[in-house]
Chain A
Amino acid sequence: AQKVTQAQTEISVVEKEDVTLDCVYETRDTTYYLFWYKQPPSGELVFLIRRNSFDEQNEISGRYSWNFQKSTSSFNFTITASQVVDSAVYFCALSEPLQGAQKLVFGQGTRLTINP
Chain B
Amino acid sequence: DTGVSQDPRHKITKRGQNVTFRCDPISEHNRLYWYRQTLGQGPEFLTYFQNEAQLEKSRLLSDRFSAERPKGSFSTLEIQRTEQGDSAMYLCASSQRLSGYSTDTQYFGPGTRLTVL
A104, B45: Cβ atoms closer than 8 Å: yes
Contact with A along B98-117 (1 / 0, CB 8 A): 00001111111111010000
Q: Could you tell me the distance between the alpha carbons of A95 and B106 in the complex, rounded to whole angstroms?
A: 11
Query: Do residues B106 and A104 form an inter-chain contact, with CB atoms below 8 A?
Result: yes
Which listed residue (A33, A46, A91) contacts B42, Cβ 8 A? Answer: A91
Q: Do A95 and B105 touch (CB < 8 A)?
A: no
Is the Cβ of B91 less than 8 Å from the Cβ of A45?
A: yes
Using Cβ atoms and an 8 Å threshold, which residues of chain A touch B48? 98-99, 101, 103
Interface of A, helix, strand, loop or mixed by DSSP:
strand
Contacts A42-B110, A44-B110, A98-B48 hold; do A107 and B42 have CB atoms under 8 A apart?
yes
Assess the B111–A101 pair: CB atoms within 8 A.
no
- The distance in angstroms between the C-alpha atoms of A106 and B43, with both chains bound, is 6
**Residues of B contacting A: mostly:** strand
**Contacts of A35-86 to chain B: CB distance below 8 A:** 35, 37, 42-47, 50, 52
Counting contact residues on chain A (CB < 8 A from B), the size range is: 20 to 34
Q: Are B42 and A109 in contact (CB under 8 A)?
A: yes
Q: How far is the CB of A88 from chain B (nearest CB, A)?
A: 13
Task: Give Cα A65–Cα B49 distance, bound, in whole angstroms.
Answer: 33
Give Cα distance in the complex from A105 to B93, angstroms.
14
Known: A44-B109, A47-B105, A106-B43. A98 touches B89 (CB 8 A): no
Is there contact, CB below 8 Å, between B111 and A33? no
Q: Are A102 and B103 in contact (CB under 8 A)?
A: yes
Residues of A within 8 A of B43 (CB): 45, 91, 104, 106
The answer to whether the Cβ of B56 comes within 8 Å of any Cβ in the partner chain is yes
Can you give 23 contacting A-B residue pairs, CB < 8 Å?
Answer: A31-B102, A42-B110, A44-B108, A44-B109, A45-B91, A47-B107, A50-B105, A93-B42, A95-B103, A98-B55, A99-B55, A100-B50, A101-B55, A101-B97, A101-B103, A102-B102, A103-B45, A104-B45, A104-B106, A105-B45, A106-B43, A106-B44, A107-B42
Which B residues contact A (CB, under 8 angstroms)?
31, 33, 35, 40-45, 48, 50, 55-56, 89, 91, 93, 95, 97, 102-111, 113
Closest 7 CB pairs of A and B: A106-B42, A45-B108, A103-B45, A102-B103, A44-B110, A99-B55, A98-B56
